[in-house]
Structure 1
Amino acid sequence: MDRSIVSGILSVSASKFIALVVGLLSKPLLARLLGPEQFGEYATVMAVQGIFMIFVSAGISDGVRKYVAEDRHEDGWKATVIGFYLRTATVLAIGGAIVLAGVTYSGFFATVFEPRFSSYFYLLVVLVITAQYWEFARKSLMGLGLERYSEPLKILYTISFPLVALPLIATGSGVIGAIIGQIVATALAAVGGLLLLHWRDSLRNVFHQPPDTFPRMEMVTFNSLSIALIFLLMSLYHIDILMLQGWIGGDQVGYYKAALEFAEFLWFAPLVLQTVFVHSTSELWSQGETERISQLAARATRYTFLLTAVMSIGIAALAADVIPVYWSYGMEPVGPLLLLLPGSLGFALARPILAISQGKGELRYPIAATGVAAVINLVLNLLLIPRYGMHGAAVATSSGYASMTVFHVWSARKIGFDPLADARIGRITLASLIAAVPIFALESAISSVIAVPYVGALPVSILIVPPLGLGLFLLAAIGVGALGVFELLEILTEFPDPIGSLSNTICRRLRRTEAESTTLE
């Protein structure tokens, strides 16, 4: 894999890992302080905000990330692209804020949900503006290849949110406190990002119109298609929450959101790849490097499947032990979580494939693929939620997620690359089945608990099963040929020291031994 891409992946991985750790610590506190019902209300409000921002952002984040990364021989190309998109982002943010304020004032949200939701959405008017600039700044820096700057901003946002929100919620602000936390966190990250862009001298064209040769229509077309694609993706993320809130409401929405949070742990590595691949492969597509793209896609699919498979097994094995301790919601979210895992694994595989397709800019096939999956998701949620509640939502959403893999493999082949060329699906599946038996047996055999201050009784299995399970899975994967020893070491050489240097030393010694053995023969 190209070292510049690996560098970007590691930069994004570091920020997402910190975000994951902060989330692991803060989300259960957020859920406990809000309680299941208010936690569900907060999830509903943020789901509406996520869908609304699709139209406000109008594909700006994907557009600026794609076009600023392209290698075009025009004077001031990158600065011109950033200036064009910043002007567009400003106009759309102001327009979106006015529209949201008007819809809230009309009583729409009070009628659809409850009267108290109006106060939530008035606050979202401010969040529309701060979130717009935050997303624009971060994606612009990424398009410039400056992940070393964009990712600390992600960390700033991740840490700022709980630092502001949790004290406000603890003093009785409830959902409003959580939304204020989002506003402050996105505002801080937005200001920091815009200052970094200004420091890089990339904002000098904000007040200048681009030249006549600037491809406005190409960008507008790409943005329009991006809106359709992102809307379909967001429907997969949020339609279940909105329908569950509208039809069932109460604690079930909070329990279901807790299950979703756990299932989405599978997306850690795929989200990293998806974040980096859009602008990285855009540059490769513009240079005609089709063969490198196909190799990259095949390898990314295999690594994603390996990692998400072992994570799925671990989460399934430990669900009954972890969820009551982590969420303090008892066993309620366990059933929906187990139903969500297969689909979440499928969605994980589709993410890098989708990002590479976006990098080329041909969005017709990705839109068609995502659209079919979104229709499946919508129809099943309509049929199953009224009858089965959160369990019906889990089955419907898992089915929609899983179908993403099938349809996006088809989409990729239509665009011109094959993500399954070296995916080794059968071997990874076999390794998963082999490793699952001892992992589940190990979890069942460990019944002891330890007392942890502020947590209570912590099952020992949570500490023992993950490292041993990972070791068992790697042995099984290497044994069946899903992963090579040298391949694993080469991946580890890209990690920071001491892991990188140690792996590099071992790799050199093994290659020297192999070369000497070949010479003797």
Structure 2
Amino acid sequence: MAWRRDGSHEGIATRMASTTFLLRVSNAGLALVSQVILARWMGEHDYGLYAYVWTWLLLLGGLASLGLPTAIQRLVPEYTERGDFDRLRGVLREGSLLTLGTSILTAGSACALLWLSEDSFLDSEYHWPLYLALVCVPVYALLEYQEGIARSYHWANLAFAPPYLYRPLILLAGLACLALLGITMSATVVMWVTLASIVVAGIGQTVVLWRKLRKVVPAGGHRSDLRYWMTIAWPLLLIDGFYLLLTYTDVLILQRFVGPNEVADYFAATKIMAILSFVSFAVSTATAPRFAQYAVSGEREKLSSFLQDSIRWTFWPSVAAAIGLLVFGEWLLWLFGPDFVDSYFLLPLIAIGLVARAAVGPVERLLSMAGEQKLTARIHAGTLVLNIVLNLILIPLMGVAGAAVATSIAMIAQSVVMAIAARRTLGVKVFTRRAFGFSRT
């Protein structure tokens, strides 16, 4: 078809977004199937334990990479455009080593803290699953960095298939083998299989990625510019860190007020509604390199036009997905187990915040790629503080519903502030008729 051969910026972005969306939809299906299987086999209690330690893995794995997975998406186009292949080769190699080193240090420090705290921080039943989750952190962080490299070259399959397709398939295969052997699916056992799936996916992605890089990056020397790289990466780390904390704060705070069963109910509801975020993720992934290019070249009109198109690609598919998930929500929850159906009331509360975020499209990524990392980080910091305060107030009053309401309010506030920031700093309008598909001009 013509769109597959279109070499324009919009054509490349459309293909990238489409491929990413298909991979993330496939991952959503696999993730939902695996979570349903886990909930059925483990029971609410162990599933709640697993949900909590998995959240820590996602959080620490994202933070340990120091913002480099996002920074590399700006550095690769910049060095390629300038023909500075020495620094390009340097950041590709040293960034991988730095990510691996800092993630090992992060995981080791967390293991030591957990060992020293004994039962003062967590009940003993959390300990072994959490230790295994921490062992996963270095490989998970390396996968994140290599995903950023692949995204920079528009290699969507290589970027997303290993973490979002192959890893869940390996996990499902491993769990099926254990089920046939009659092994009890405790949180510890499942984390062992999770560790194996992450390691296998990471090795495969590493081998393929460096083979492809040898074909597109000319051979030569390496030049380090660590101070410049970290100047870009540190604000992005703050942005990514605040975003991750905003995403997972509800689960982490819930554990302090409710038991594993309630955590399991909430986690299942968030897993179902997380499908909404895949649209935003796909569009954001496709548009980031183009935002960087337009920002560097100073093409403000193209930047504004491209953002409005991106919002249209994000908002209406997200609305349609939200409606579909709410219609089939009770059935989806029943798949986890009959006891999970009672948590249906959480779905619309979670959906409100996600749709609000979709209404501003990838404006957060635009600000980051246009050099406004510090401003974006401050916005995320304010949103995180708001979210924590609201969770601490509302969870004791409303239970799991309080976590959903708090997070949605924080997302709405963040979206409004991001739109205002884009208008004031870049002169880019967010809420326009064209952005929502009512006008093409």
TM-score, normalization: structure 2? 0.88
Give 1:102's match in structure 2, choosing from 100, 107, 112: 112
Contact between 1:38 and 1:175, CA under 8 Å: does it hold in 2? yes
Contact between 2:360 and 2:431, CA under 8 Å: does it hold in 1? no
Give 1:342's match in structure 2, choosing from 349, 352, 360: 352
Query: Relative to 1, partners in 2 of residues 1:418 and 1:177: Cα closer, same or farther, differing over 3 Å?
Result: farther
Q: Equivalent residue of 1:200, what SS?
A: helix
Query: Relative to 1, partners in 2 of residues 1:269 and 1:23: Cα closer, same or farther, differing over 3 Å?
Result: same
Aligned residue in 2 for 1:62: 70
Mean alpha-carbon deviation: is it higher for 277-286 or for 55-64? 277-286
Q: Equivalent residue of 2:233, what SS?
A: helix
Query: Relative to 1, partners in 2 of residues 1:217 and 1:350: Cα closer, same or farther, differing over 3 Å?
Result: farther
Query: Relative to 1, partners in 2 of residues 1:140 and 1:202: Cα closer, same or farther, differing over 3 Å?
Result: farther
Give 2:204's match in structure 1, choosing from 189, 192, 197: 192
Aligned residue in 2 for 1:413: 423
Q: How does 1:371-410 map to 2 (within 5 A)?
A: 371-410=381-420
Query: How far off its partner does 1:244 sit?
Result: 1.0
Contact between 2:72 and 2:149, CA under 8 Å: does it hold in 1? yes
Aligned residue in 2 for 1:152: 161
Query: How far off its partner does 1:321 sit?
Result: 4.5
Q: How does 1:24-423 map to 2 (within 5 A)?
A: 24-70=32-78, 71-107=81-117, 110-154=119-163, 155-165=165-175, 167-168=177-178, 171-202=183-214, 210-211=222-223, 215-325=225-335, 327-350=337-360, 352-420=362-430, 422-423=432-433
Contact between 2:310 and 2:361, CA under 8 Å: does it hold in 1? no
Query: Relative to 1, partners in 2 of residues 1:275 and 1:168: Cα closer, same or farther, differing over 3 Å?
Result: farther
Letter paired with 2:102: L
Query: How far off its partner does 1:77 sit?
Result: 4.0
Q: How does 1:420-435 map to 2 (within 5 A)?
A: 420=430, 422-423=432-433
Query: How far off its partner does 1:327 sit?
Result: 4.3
Aligned residue in 1 for 2:17: 9
Q: Equivalent residue of 1:254, what SS?
A: helix
What is the CA–CA distance in structure 1 between the aligned matches of 2:185 and 2:120, rounded to whole Å?
23
Mean alpha-carbon deviation: is it higher for 57-66 or for 381-390? 57-66
Contact between 1:294 and 1:419, CA under 8 Å: does it hold in 2? yes
Query: Relative to 1, partners in 2 of residues 1:305 and 1:198: Cα closer, same or farther, differing over 3 Å?
Result: closer
Contact between 1:101 and 1:122, CA under 8 Å: does it hold in 2? yes
Share of identical aligned residues, percent? 19
Query: How far off its partner does 1:257 sit?
Result: 0.9
What is the CA–CA distance in structure 2 between the aligned matches of 1:289 and 1:13, rounded to whole Å?
27
Query: Relative to 1, partners in 2 of residues 1:107 and 1:148: Cα closer, same or farther, differing over 3 Å?
Result: same
Q: Equivalent residue of 1:329, what SS?
A: helix
Contact between 1:16 and 1:268, CA under 8 Å: does it hold in 2? yes
What is the CA–CA distance in structure 2 between the aligned matches of 1:192 and 1:483, rounded to whole Å?
45
Structure 1: stretches of 5+ with no match in the other structure:
429-480, 488-521
Query: How far off its partner does 1:49 sit?
Result: 2.0
Query: How far off its partner does 1:396 sit?
Result: 0.9
Query: How far off its partner does 1:349 sit?
Result: 3.3
Query: Relative to 1, partners in 2 of residues 1:323 and 1:90: Cα closer, same or farther, differing over 3 Å?
Result: closer
What is the CA–CA distance in structure 1 between the aligned matches of 2:197 and 2:422, rounded to whole Å?
37
What is the CA–CA distance in structure 1 between the aligned matches of 2:84 and 2:260, rounded to whole Å?
56
Letter paired with 1:123: L
Mean alpha-carbon deviation: is it higher for 289-298 or for 251-260? 289-298
Query: How far off its partner does 1:178 sit?
Result: 2.5
Q: Which has the larger radius of gyration?
A: 1
> 1:238-274 CA deviation, whole Å, 9 max, x = no partner?
1111111111113111111111112212112111112
Query: Relative to 1, partners in 2 of residues 1:221 and 1:339: Cα closer, same or farther, differing over 3 Å?
Result: same
Q: Segments of 4+ in structure 1 off by > 6 A? A: none
Query: Relative to 1, partners in 2 of residues 1:50 and 1:326: Cα closer, same or farther, differing over 3 Å?
Result: closer
Contact between 1:135 and 1:190, CA under 8 Å: does it hold in 2? no
Give aligned pairs, total: 426
Letter paired with 2:151: M
Aligned residue in 2 for 1:432: none
Aligned residue in 2 for 1:435: none
> 1:305-329 CA deviation, whole Å, 9 max, x = no partner?
2112222233333334443345433
Q: Equivalent residue of 1:58, what SS?
A: coil
Aligned residue in 2 for 1:453: none
Q: Equivalent residue of 2:280, what SS?
A: helix
What is the CA–CA distance in structure 1 between the aligned matches of 2:329 and 2:382, rounded to whole Å?
31
Letter paired with 2:82: R
Give 1:21's match in structure 2, choosing from 26, 29, 32: 29
TM-score, normalization: structure 1? 0.75
Query: How far off its partner does 1:12 sit?
Result: 1.2
What is the CA–CA distance in structure 1 between the aligned matches of 2:391 and 2:431, rounded to whole Å?
34
Which of the pair has the greater relative contact order for Cα pairs under 8 Å at 6+ separation? Answer: 2
Contact between 1:197 and 1:203, CA under 8 Å: does it hold in 2? no
What is the CA–CA distance in structure 1 between the aligned matches of 2:376 and 2:127, rounded to whole Å?
36
Contact between 1:15 and 1:151, CA under 8 Å: does it hold in 2? yes
Q: Equivalent residue of 2:339, what SS?
A: coil
Aligned residue in 2 for 1:514: none
Contact between 2:242 and 2:384, CA under 8 Å: does it hold in 1? yes
Letter paired with 1:196: V
Contact between 2:35 and 2:336, CA under 8 Å: does it hold in 1? no
Q: Equivalent residue of 1:57, what SS?
A: coil
Letter paired with 2:307: A
